[in-house]
Structure 1
């Protein structure tokens, strides 16, 4: 399997599979919240399954030092991509259409990543990247206007949850870069530390007890195995083969997948202004992601 992923064709296939997993998760999670599972239930499934599976990785890296990063940094990482981020995303999906989450969250990640790179590392984005970010912001504004004029407070609240989740997720890779933490180790830290939520969840009234066991098992696999472990492994393996510049051309497909899947699976057709917003975000992500690729080509041409 590793040999296959080392080829260009295998790496592209792995990246596309990861895109389907992450884009489809917005639709699957939205469906779960509409059919009996709460944001708390889904978070418990995600970290219960993912935490148990990744516990050996965490212990092997050193529990005393929080897998080698220190407990202070470990807790910060867990806050950025663990329980708070997941609860915000799941809550958003219980209130607003899946297409909103699939567009707003990756769009916010891109904006936070660009701004954070300037502040933390002094990296000035090329003009094409800046243009892409401005396009994303315009798309976010369109979705915000559409939600505000729809008269639905729940949609506005859901969109704000997506913005907050995107902000946390956007800061997460910046901290990984600053602290030089590997992908699998960081994921094990987030999953294992987030398991601290399970006793609190079980002391309440676990919603999964009232849902069909097959439905619970399906979402346990989706949350804990597909999104937390498999998607990350596929993405990281593909990046090692393709390189960061080419890999950045794939994230714009996430909102496309999420928006398209929401139509047949959830019957969620975006309103005209919302559709414009989603299109702007997808276009902006594509422009911003293509920036490093074109910059690298210009450098290669000059040399």
Structure 2
């Protein structure tokens, strides 16, 4: 979809009453994660290119979070490790995924990116962190991948303006793999979520900004102001910063197990918002893939409604 996120420890469930405040933060997080693919595709359908949208993302978030990096430096993480995380969740991730929305529907991106991320981060965690998934999680991953294959076999859809649908899917999958790199190593290194977000945004601005200027010059300032404001706010503030705050609050109020449920809602929200905003009507194949992925995510995330040891990977935005 995101935003560098957190790897929370298990928290006890709320015992008294319905935790409406936590539910509100969880829904807000899922809506932001689900809206990000839609607004990204909307951006590249207008006068902006994928490189422009990526630049707006890190221009805004990098400047907003720069004071935090100036005050804390790398925060004990080390600049080398910070660079690895910036590759996984920074400019490379943003470029490949946003470019993918030039070739494939937002609903497909909202499904493929988190599915591939969840699968790769689970398998990578098994190999590198010795976090062996149980049978239920592995079954969930198989179901998730079957949903991705269902979407991936949709054909060229040339009549709907998606003659290179396969390329969009490849780019989405590549983005999911990059975010898995971030997920695995942020967990391995115990990275602080807010400071990691700041490091990724500032490093991406510092490294991608000069490259963008050499490639595009002042093309960005020639775009309509309403497009710049929409993408700057949506990408740089809402997706990069606000989603992290809402997600962290949801985990604190609900526990990791309950908060994981909202991640499973992301593909559905993407498809839901893509219809009125972009006019993307989901096909039967898309709906089938969506159902498989959502059900598989519930299993793979180990969602339970009591005390849980679920460790939820951050959803990509």
Please report the TM-score for the alignment, with normalisation by the length of structure 2.
Answer: 0.86
Residue matched to 2:26: 15
Distance 1:15 1:183 in 2: 17
Structure 1 residue runs of 4+, over 3 Å off?
Answer: 147-153, 294-298
Q: 1:296 deviation in Å?
A: 4.8
* Cα deviations by residue, 1:124-145 (Å, 9 ceiling, x for unpaired): 2232222211111101111111
Do 1:252 and 1:285's aligned partners in 2 also have CA atoms closer than 8 Å? yes
Q: 1:244 deviation in Å?
A: 1.5
Aligned residues: 289
* Worse-matched range after superposition: 34-43 or 270-279: 270-279
**2:220 aligned with 1:208, yes or no?**
yes
SS in 1 for 2:304: helix
Residue matched to 2:119: 111
Superposed counterparts of 1:137-152, under 5 Å: 137-147=145-155
Distance 1:123 1:135, change over 3 A: same
Structure number with higher helix proportion:
1
Do 1:83 and 1:194's aligned partners in 2 also have CA atoms closer than 8 Å? yes
Distance 2:136 2:269 in 1: 24
Q: 1:28 deviation in Å?
A: 0.8
Q: 1:117 deviation in Å?
A: 2.0
For the aligned residue pairs, the C-alpha RMSD in angstroms reads 2.1
**2:145 aligned with 1:133, yes or no?**
no
Superposed counterparts of 1:128-207, under 5 Å: 128-147=136-155, 153-195=163-205, 196-205=207-216, 206-207=218-219
Residue matched to 2:280: 268
Residue matched to 2:40: 29
Distance 2:64 2:297 in 1: 33
Residue matched to 1:81: 89
Residue matched to 1:99: 107
Distance 1:190 1:147, change over 3 A: farther
> Unaligned 5+ residue runs, structure 1?
1-5, 299-303
Residue matched to 1:301: none
Distance 1:11 1:207, change over 3 A: farther
Which structure ranks higher in relative contact order (CA pairs < 8 Å, sequence separation ≥ 6)?
2
Distance 1:49 1:147 in 2: 37
* Cα deviations by residue, 1:39-86 (Å, 9 ceiling, x for unpaired): 111111010000011011111112xxx332111111101000000000
* Cα deviations by residue, 1:159-209 (Å, 9 ceiling, x for unpaired): 111001011112212211110111001111100000121122123334433
Q: 1:222 deviation in Å?
A: 0.5
Distance 1:281 1:44 in 2: 31
Distance 1:147 1:22 in 2: 26
Residue matched to 2:62: 51
Distance 1:297 1:21 in 2: 25
Q: 1:252 deviation in Å?
A: 1.0
Residue matched to 1:251: 263
Distance 1:219 1:84 in 2: 18
Do 2:157 and 2:163's aligned partners in 1 also have CA atoms closer than 8 Å? no
Do 1:59 and 1:67's aligned partners in 2 also have CA atoms closer than 8 Å? no
Distance 1:59 1:266, change over 3 A: same
* Cα deviations by residue, 1:251-288 (Å, 9 ceiling, x for unpaired): 01111110011111111112222322222112211222
Q: 1:105 deviation in Å?
A: 0.6
Residue matched to 2:4: none
Distance 1:181 1:284, change over 3 A: same
